[in-house]
Structure 1
Amino acid sequence: MRENEASIRGRVVRDLIAHTTNDLLIGKKIKNGELRKQIGTAEPPWKCPECFTMQTIEMEHFTMELLESKENANRDKIILQLHGGGYVGAMRNAYRMFAGLYNEVSHGMSVLTPDYRVAPEHPYPAALEDAVCAYEWLLAQGWFSEQIIVAGDSAGGGLAMALCHYLINHGRQLPCGIIAMSPWTDLTASGESYDTNYERDPLFGKTRDSLIYNRDYVGDHDPMDEYISPMFGDFRGFPPMLIQVGSYEMLLSDSVDVAAKARGQGVKVRLSIYDGMFHIFQMAAKMLPESRKAWVEIGKFIEILLRE
C-alpha cells in the first residue's frame, strides 16, 4: 500500500529536518559520540501524564518501564516496545511518548519498554539478549506469547524481527504480531534505496557519516547474521507484520525487501509506504496528517490481531 503525496505540512517538516541535519553536522556528531552526550544531558525529566502509571523494573543488566492506564486498562494483550536509536541511543522521552500513543490506539494496552544496553559500551549481542530477557519476563508474569505484540522503530524494528528469529531458532513460541516503523533490517547497507534516496533523505542523506553507517553495534561480528540484520534470516513461521516506512528514506529498501521476502515465505505482511515521508515520521504524533494516519493504521492492525 502506498499513501498519497506528502502533505504541505509534511513537506515543511521534512525540509526543516534536512536543513537542521546539514547545518548542525549531525552525522559527524553521531560518529564522534557528541550527539549522544548532548541528548543524554539535554532532556528534562519525564512527567508521566495523570492518566497513566509508570513503573520502573530493575533487571540484572538494564531497566524497563511499564506504562499502564489507571482506568479502563485493556488486559487482552500487552505491547513490548523496542526503541530505536541505531543501537547506540538509549531510552528517551520520545519513546515514552510512543508508549502513550500505543496505549491510546490499542484502547488501553500496557506497554513495556526495555532500556536495553547499547553500543559502543555494549555491542552485539547485548541488545538482543536484553530483548529476549524482556520477553521472558512478560511470560514469567503470566502473559502468553499469543498475547504479546512486539513493536519497534528503526533499530527497534529490526530488533523485533531479530527477537523472532531467535525465538524460532530456539523452539520458543512467538508473539502474535510485529509493528515495525522504518525497521533497520540490513546493517550491510546493501539495499537499492541507500543509493536512490541518498540525495533526498533529510535525516541520513548526503553523508556516509550518518547513524546508518555506524558499526559500533556490529563490532567484529558478521553484519549478515540474522540476529544483526534480520533481512538475511528465514521468516517462515513469523507472525503477521505491519511495516511502515517513508518513501524518502535511505532505509526504504530495508522495509520493502523484508516485506517481499517474508510474503514469499508465507507471512502476512502489510507494507505501507508514505510518500515524501522521512525516517520515523510517526514521532510527529498528531501534528502531521501522515503521522496521524500511521497511528490510526497501527490501531486497526492491533484490532485485527485481537480478532485472530
Structure 2
Amino acid sequence: MANPPNFPLISYQPLRFVYKLSYFGTIIARLPYYTLVALIPAFRPNSKWSAKQTFMTRILQPLLDMTSRIGITETLTLEQGKEDERFQIVKPSTLDVYQGPLHSESVKPATIGGTWYPNPPQADISSKIVVLYFHGGAFVQGDGRDESTGSIAKKFLEKGGAEAFFSLQYRLSEYGGVNPFPAALQDAVSAYFYLLNEHHIPANQIVIGGDSAGANLATAFLRYLHEYGTEIGAPYPKAAVLLSPWVAPFDYHIKDNRATDFIPTSYPAWGAHTYGNGAPDERTNPYITASLKPFSTPVPIFINAGTAELLYGQIVGLADGMSKVPGNVVELHIEDAAVHDTLLTGRLLGFEESAWEVAAKVGEFVRKL
C-alpha cells in the first residue's frame, strides 16, 4: 500500500486561521456579484431557479471549498448527546461476516452508534418497515444525528414509506490513514446484523438508504451481499434508495453542471483520497467506484438524480448499467433543475419543495413492492 495522504499544510495553526480569514475576505468581496446574479433572472445559472436558490448555491460553494482545502474531518462521539435514548450503540458482529474486501489487517470492525427516528425502538419494531440509512458527507463529514439527518428522517417517515428510521454513525475517514476503506462498509454490515439479530427485524422489512457518499456505501453494501451474502448468512433487504449517489469518487474533475452545482472540486478530492487512503486499487475498486462492474441483485433500487447536479451524468450511467443486468429492477427518478442531494441541502438552499416530491416518489416505490 502506498503512503496515506497527509494533512494539508494549511490545516495547522496558525496557518489555518490566516487562511480562513483571507478566504472569508474573498467571499465578502464577491457578495455584490452573488446578489446581482440572484436578483436578475437572466443572470441565474438555471432559469428555473429562484433568487434564494441562486444566492445560496453561490455562497455554499466557496464555503465548502474552504473547508475542503483545510481538510479536517469531523470528530465523532459515542455519547448519547441531545438525541438521548434514540442514540444507541452498535457493536461489531461475529468476525465471520466481514469477508473478502472487509477483511483488513489494519482496519478492524469497531463499536459505532446510530440514531433512531422518531423514537427509540419498542417491542413492535420487528413489525415495521425500517430504513437503515447511511448519511452523506464525502466520508469526512456527518454523524447521522438530528442536525445532519433529522430533516431526511422526517421526509422518509412522513412521505417515504418508512415506519422507523435508523441513521448510522459510521466511522469517518481522515488524512493520515485514519478509518479508510473498508471501515464504513464494515460499519454498514455491523448495522445490518444489529437490526437482524438485536431487534429481530425481518430482512424483507428493511430498506437500505443513503445520500451522496451514503448512497455509495449503500451500493457497496448491496454488492457485498451479492458476493458474500450466502456465505455469511445475510438475507437481502426489501429495497434500496440511492439519493444523488457518489458513484465515482476519484472522477472529480467534472465539467458538466459545474456552473450550477455547489460542490467544488476540492470537496470530493478530500473525501476520495482519505477514504481510498492511497491504496493501489483505490481508483479501480468497485466497492469504492460504484459505477464499475454492474452486478446482479434481487433488491429493487430507487435512484434519484438532479439535472443541475455535478454528478448527474455519472448517476444516470450507474442506473443504466445496473438496469441492463438481467433480473435487476431499477427505477431512476429525475429531479428537474435540482442540485446535489436536495434531501440534505433542500431547506438551506431553497429546494425543500423539490426534496419533498422526491420523498413522495420514494414512498410510492417502497409501498408498491
Which of 113, 136, 142 aligns to 1:63? It is 113
The match for 1:75 among 105, 127, 132 is 127
Percent of pairs with identical residues: 22
Q: Within 2, Cα distance between the matches of 1:268 and 1:16?
A: 36
Contact kept? 1:165, 1:233, Cα under 8 Å: no
- Displacement, 1:6? 7.4
Distance 1:164 1:144, change over 3 A: same
Equivalent residues in 2 for 1:141-152, closer than 5 Å: 141-152=199-210
> How far apart, in 2, do the equivalents of 1:88 and 1:115 lie?
12
Q: Which amino acid in 2 is paired with 1:142?
A: H
Deviation of residue 270 (structure 1)?
1.4
Q: Which residue of 2 aligns with 1:251?
A: 311
Alignment of 1:18-57 (within 5 A): 18-22=58-62, 24=63, 26-34=64-72, 36=73, 46=82, 54-57=86-89
Larger radius of gyration: 2
Aligned-residue offset at 1:304: 1.4
Pair 1:123-2:175 in alignment:
no
Give the counterpart of 1:204 among 252, 256, 263.
263
**Paired amino acid for 1:175:** P
Residue 271 of structure 1 aligns with which residue? 332
More helix by share: 2
Structure 1 gap segments, 5+ residues each: none
Q: Distance in 2 between matches of 1:83 and 1:6?
A: 30
Tell me the equivalent position of 1:261: 321
What corresponds to 1:289 in structure 2? 353
Per-residue deviation, 1:73: 7.5
**Matching residue of 2:149:** 95
The one-letter code sitting in structure 1 at the alignment partner of 2:248 is D
Q: Is the deviation greater in 167-176 or in 149-158?
A: 167-176
Q: CA RMSD in A?
A: 2.9
Structure 1: distance between partners of 2:161 and 2:67:
39
Distance 1:175 1:138, change over 3 A: same
Q: Name the amino acid aligned to 2:69.
A: K
Q: Which amino acid aligns with 1:30?
A: S
Distance (Å, rounded) in 2 between the aligned partners of 1:139 and 1:64: 15
State the distance in 1 between where 2:256 and 2:343 align: 23
**Residue identity in the other structure for 1:187:** P
Q: 2:368 aligns with which of 300, 304, 307?
A: 304
CA deviations over 1:39-63 (Å, ceiling 9, x no partner): 98xxxx7568xxxx72422434211
Inter-partner Cα distance in structure 2 for 1:139 and 1:73: 11
Residue 146 of structure 1 aligns to a residue in which SS? Answer: helix
Partner residue in 2 for 1:13:
53
Which residue identity does 1:56 align to in structure 2?
Answer: Q
Deviations 1:145-174 (CA, angstroms, capped at 9, x unpaired): 221100100000110010010111112422
Q: 2:303–2:333: 8 Å Cα contact kept in structure 1? A: yes
Shift of 1:7: 4.9
Normalization by structure 2: what TM-score? 0.69
2:130–2:162 contact (8 Å) kept in structure 1: no
Q: Distance in 2 between matches of 1:164 and 1:291?
A: 25
Kindly state the Cα deviation for residue 123 of structure 1 after the two structures are TM-superposed: 0.8
Q: Size of the alignment, in residue pairs? A: 284
Q: State the 1:190 CA deviation.
A: 7.2
Q: 1:279 to 1:166 in 2, by over 3 A?
A: same
Alpha-carbon spacing, 1:263–1:296, altered in 2? closer, same or farther (3 Å): same
The one-character-per-residue Cα deviations of 1:55-107 (angstroms, maximum 9, x if unpaired) are: 42243421122224589989342110011110111314121221232122246
